[in-house]
Structure 1
Amino acid sequence: MTSVSTPSARGIMPKPGRRLPLAALLIMALMGFILIATETMPAGLLPQIAHGLNVTEGTAGQLVSAYALGTVVLTLPAMALTRGMARKPVFLVGILGFFLANTVAAISADIALTLAARFVAGAFSGLLWGMLAGYARRITAPELAGRALAIASIGTPLGLAVGTPLGSWLGTTFGWRWSFGILSALTILTAVLALIIIPNAPGQRAESRISIAKVFTIPGVAVILVVIFVWMLAHNTVYTYIASYLRAAGMSLTVDVALVVFGVSALIGLWITGSLIDRAPRLLVLASVSLFMIAGVIFLLGSHSLIAVLLALVLWGVAFGGAAPQLQTAISEASGENADMANSLLGVAFNIAIFAAGVLGAVLITVYDGMVLPALMIGLAIAALVIVVTARRSAFPARH
């Protein structure tokens, strides 16, 4: 009897259709929302966490550092180990590992165990972030890849605009462990939805794999990573210490309201990016970095005007909202079949910028005050803009 060899039997994944796999992309966005909310939530709950674990607020603040450190240290080895595997099993294992680590952090009464759990959660977060961009593109037709990436990235601004304030409110109202617990429940829901809805996709072909060191040497990759670090260093320094700026400016505007304005504006920026990224990727990056710089100028010159500060928050949010898909698209296009490894480098660069922003911002506001932050924002934005303008061949070409 002759057996029939089907594509699935031979391990060949079906080609992506010509329509956006919207449900699958939204599930990826939900996972991104959970990752961002989990990373940033402790910052809004330091007094409660410190009291619950019987430690100082400074020690409790290391929950953020431990998470970022796990991402920086283990993302690249995890991506190198799994890049040849089918994407869906790796995605599901990453979600379940993240769930377990976050649940341990929710129930732990020991600060050492909690920090270890946060480190492991950061490692799984790095794996998930590293593969999300490539996975979203692989299940989508090439001409829609940029739009697909924008949809899959919507969880980032939503996490900043909604997840962090909501987690802080839940923690303040019901206890900080509830915030972690609810995120764990959402993680399990995401795993079930991913299992049912998200299609599988192949890993990277063996013959196209190169070492991490060689990924750096791919034309355009190193340049894009420098832009990511410079831009995100500026963003995270201002975002982390926005309270210091508002206080120095004498604003009656609260931090919560400022961050909500920023987050809503970021959603607008993401929508604009999703509409244009497949047609004008270079123009979008140039416009976003320019808007970011203009926001810094308005923060600096209009610091005594509530309307001016609100306008700067809006421009900042619009500029930052599309940054993730813009930069992920640029590095994916530059790196080709090594996009997963390149995107893992993107995540590492982002988290190194978070580390550096915390230290740099603390030094600046101690030596000066919050009004130095817009000056830093402007200076670093100019540096990023110069790099983007000059890197028009392989890093930020006019067309894909």
Structure 2
Amino acid sequence: MAPVPGSGRRLRGRLLLLCGAVLLAVTGEMLPAGLLAVMADDLAVSRSAVAGVVSAYAVVVAVAAVPLTVLTARWPRRRLLLGCLVGFAVSNAAMASSSALPALIAARTLGGLTHAVLFSVVTGYATRLAPARLTGRAVSLVLAGGTVAFVLGVPLGTWLGSLLGWRTAFAALAVAAVLLVLATPLVLPVLPAPPAPDPPAPTRREGAGPAAAGPVEQRRYRVRSGLGVIAGFVLLIMLGHSTLYTYVSPVLLDAGLTQAGVGPALLLYGAAGLLGIWGAGRLADHRPRAGLTGFTAVLLLALVLLAAVAGRTWATVLVLPLWGAAYAGMPGFFMSAAVRASRTSPDTSAAVVNAASNAGIALGAFGGGQVITRAGVDALPLLAAVPVALALLVIAVRHRPADPSKQQETEAPVAGR
């Protein structure tokens, strides 16, 4: 599909607005992790109960991402994006006015439904705004909003919530959503819905493998296989990351930091993520498999080191940037890999990755809570390293074609054919 015409400066402005929408979404999703102790004390509930607020959001996204993306596939893109931003404004305003756990869960459910659609919309927008040769870079820039959420959004929200109350932090997110609603019609062009997919291919003979099918069906088999591997990889990475990050506040408090020091520590974690974004942007279009392998290996190393230095204040703080840099670059690889696996339907590909990502977040939040209850906070980093090690194994054993000329390095790093 041809990109939407526009100057380089105009294109950057459009991508940055989409990046801001992702920043808003991820900050809202993960902010309870930074305010876990504050929210639990104020609501007089356990920390694991507040972590359930993270899980509820993620479960909604995991379940609803693909169905809602299919349901809204024919809706005009800018109108759908505006609806998502309004949903975030209402959800965060409801969070700011909630005084009991059931009300929080209801507000988070609305946020999760909105989030379920947003990532598909912004990814599809990015692929249609940018030239094909820059797809990976454009997607990485838009999804860098997720890293900026960890660099600035969550740390500043944690600091603001610790200083003025956690409801103030969510009220600020609601105001930011309203500002994005006002800016979107001024910055983004009107895009029609993506073209309808090709009609279904004839069913192949029973018992015949993909090699016996026609070329269209063979390609669809490869797309389904590639997206399946990508989704499994994303699930493992997010399971490992979220097992630890959902409880990052208790982990840092256990290491000897004060609640006031959690925000600056998360700022250090997020600032290192800028290096991760830079590295991923350089590799996403040219050496995606090598880049993703390297980032996964560094993430595994960081989690193992955090397990080794558990309870030691300065050692934990010094390892945080390694964790932040490794994780920050990975979402761009996820989405660009999925888009390349199914170029004709970037919205649906993004929905698959979004669903797998949030399934990992939900499972990580739940599993981490169980570990804290039974084995304590110190056990979390090593448990988090296990699924990341499995993800690295997925990359290592994924089939490569015998003839490298038939699959260039610019294809999906884990979607091989």
Residue 285 in structure 1 maps to residue 275 in structure 2: no
Q: Deviation of residue 39 (structure 1)?
A: 1.3
TM-score (norm 1): 0.85
Q: Deviation of residue 52 (structure 1)?
A: 6.3
Q: Note the residue ranges of structure 2 that are not aligned, 5 or more in a row.
A: 202-219, 402-406, 412-417
Between the aligned partners of 1:357 and 1:59, the Cα distance in structure 2 is 14
What is the aligned counterpart of 1:237 among 221, 243, 246?
243
Partner in structure 2 of residue 374 of structure 1: 381
Partner in structure 1 of residue 150 of structure 2: 160
Contact 1:24 1:197 in 2 (8 A): yes
Q: Deviation of residue 311 (structure 1)?
A: 4.6
Residue 28 in structure 1 maps to residue 18 in structure 2: yes
Partner in structure 1 of residue 163 of structure 2: 173
What is the aligned counterpart of 1:107 among 92, 97, 101?
97
Residue 192 in structure 1 maps to residue 182 in structure 2: yes
Contact 2:23 2:145 in 1 (8 A): yes
Contact 2:37 2:249 in 1 (8 A): no
Contact 2:33 2:245 in 1 (8 A): no
**Aligned CA distance change for structure 1 residues 63 and 198 (closer, same or farther; 3 Å):** same
Q: Deviation of residue 15 (structure 1)?
A: 3.6
Q: Deviation of residue 303 (structure 1)?
A: 5.2
Q: Deviation of residue 206 (structure 1)?
A: 1.5
What is the aligned counterpart of 1:224 among 218, 222, 230?
230
Q: Deviation of residue 224 (structure 1)?
A: 0.7
Partner in structure 2 of residue 88 of structure 1: 78
Counterpart amino acid of residue 358 in structure 2: N
Deviations along 1:348-368, one digit per CA (max 9) or x if unpaired, are: 111111111122222333433
Q: Deviation of residue 72 (structure 1)?
A: 2.5
Between the aligned partners of 1:345 and 1:362, the Cα distance in structure 2 is 26
Between the aligned partners of 1:34 and 1:320, the Cα distance in structure 2 is 18
Residue 258 in structure 1 maps to residue 265 in structure 2: yes
Between the aligned partners of 1:46 and 1:398, the Cα distance in structure 2 is 42
Q: Deviation of residue 216 (structure 1)?
A: 10
Partner in structure 1 of residue 364 of structure 2: 357
SS at match of 1:319: helix
**Aligned CA distance change for structure 1 residues 91 and 57 (closer, same or farther; 3 Å):** same
Partner in structure 1 of residue 277 of structure 2: 270
Equivalent pairs counted in the alignment come to 385
Residue 391 in structure 1 maps to residue 398 in structure 2: yes
Partner in structure 1 of residue 217 of structure 2: none
SS at match of 1:337: coil
**Correspondences of 1:314-325 after superposition (within 5 Å):** 314-325=321-332
Contact 1:37 1:160 in 2 (8 A): yes
SS at match of 1:380: helix
Between the aligned partners of 1:244 and 1:121, the Cα distance in structure 2 is 25
Counterpart amino acid of residue 312 in structure 1: V
Q: Deviation of residue 78 (structure 1)?
A: 1.5
Between the aligned partners of 1:151 and 1:335, the Cα distance in structure 2 is 20
Q: Deviation of residue 275 (structure 1)?
A: 2.3
Deviations along 1:297-324, one digit per CA (max 9) or x if unpaired, are: 3334455876654453222211111111
Deviations along 1:185-242, one digit per CA (max 9) or x if unpaired, are: 111111121111112333221233779xx89961311111111011111111122234
**Correspondences of 1:325-344 after superposition (within 5 Å):** 325-344=332-351
Deviations along 1:24-44, one digit per CA (max 9) or x if unpaired, are: 111111111111111122344
Partner in structure 2 of residue 348 of structure 1: 355
Q: Note the residue ranges of structure 1 that are not aligned, 5 or more in a row.
A: 1-11
Q: In terms of mean alpha carbon deviation, does 214-223 or 133-142 score higher?
A: 214-223
Q: Deviation of residue 258 (structure 1)?
A: 3.4
Q: Deviation of residue 293 (structure 1)?
A: 1.7
After superposition, the CA RMSD in angstroms is 3.1
Contact 1:215 1:342 in 2 (8 A): no
Between the aligned partners of 1:243 and 1:175, the Cα distance in structure 2 is 16
What is the aligned counterpart of 2:193 among 195, 203, 207?
203
Partner in structure 1 of residue 404 of structure 2: none
Deviations along 1:230-277, one digit per CA (max 9) or x if unpaired, are: 1111111122234555577x5669543432222111121011111221
Counterpart amino acid of residue 398 in structure 1: E
Deviations along 1:118-161, one digit per CA (max 9) or x if unpaired, are: 21111011110222212111111111111111211121122123
Q: Deviation of residue 83 (structure 1)?
A: 1.5
